[in-house]
Amino acid sequence: MNEFGIEHVWQQGDIVTRSVALVLLVMSVMSWSVIVIKCIQGTGLRKIALRTKHRFWSEKTLPAAIDSLGNSANNPFRDLAIAGHAAMSHQYNIEAGISNNLDISDWLARELKNSIDDNSARLQSGLGILASIGSTAPFVGLLGTVWGIYHALQSISMVDQPDLAHVAGPVGEALIMTAFGLFVAIPAVLGFNTISRRNRTLQHAIARFAHDLHAYYLTGSRITSTEVTELRAVDAETGHRVQPFRAGQSV
């Protein structure tokens, strides 16, 4: 057995050293679990986004378009289409009352926003774990190092004539905890940044789809990129600002 290796740290360590090592191990398992799950989820959602872009608007009827999105429970685009359809059906069939005073565009925008918020919360789930692990794991490892150096210095003080071997071995052994903390933190930080960037791309696609749905349910047609360009040209000529639909806004 290596006298100054990880196995030696575990066997010779006290309750604090072992607790720190176990905490870092649990953090590492949690971090990689979240990273793997979110990567699988993100890959699936990107495929759904591409399928939605190519299939949904090519269908001739709304029920067929919704069916083309599949039956996956984790499909924000299907959730949006169903939420919009339900909002329009409710608004058309509702009897006179308080909610009937709400403009149909506002009602639809509100329901689409609620669906976007729900799906955004699902996309962000797990990122808090990665952020916490990425920020705290180095300090947990540092705690183990400080504790190990303290006990190493105590052991060295008991030696009559300590040399470099007596000092370098225990101190280097204690520094393993710092390395372990960094080993846990770095993947968590990289995973957090990568997943956050992918989530922003997906949220943009979801918001764009919600905009198209809002236009479709109100006008019966989808606003194309050509029409958007024309609207911007009119905006430039008239000086009036054309506001696009965004989550949290009424149209």
Residue scoring higher pLDDT (19 or 156):
19
Q: How confident is the model at residue 168 (pLDDT cuts 50, 70, 90)?
A: low
Q: How confident is the model at residue 73 (pLDDT cuts 50, 70, 90)?
A: confident
Q: What's the whole-model pTM score?
A: 0.72
Average pLDDT, the chain: 78
Give the three-class secondary structure for 198.
helix
CA dist 106 → 4, 113, 225, 247 (Å): 68, 10, 23, 12
Residue scoring higher pLDDT (188 or 93):
188
Alpha helices in 125-224 (DSSP H): 127-157, 164-219
For the segment 42-52, the average pLDDT, to the nearest whole number, is 87
> Which distant-in-sequence residues (6+ apart) come within 8 Å of 7 by Cβ?
1
Range from 53-57, 128-132, 159-163 carrying the lowest mean pLDDT: 159-163
Say whether pLDDT at 204 is over 70. yes
Residue scoring higher pLDDT (148 or 189):
189
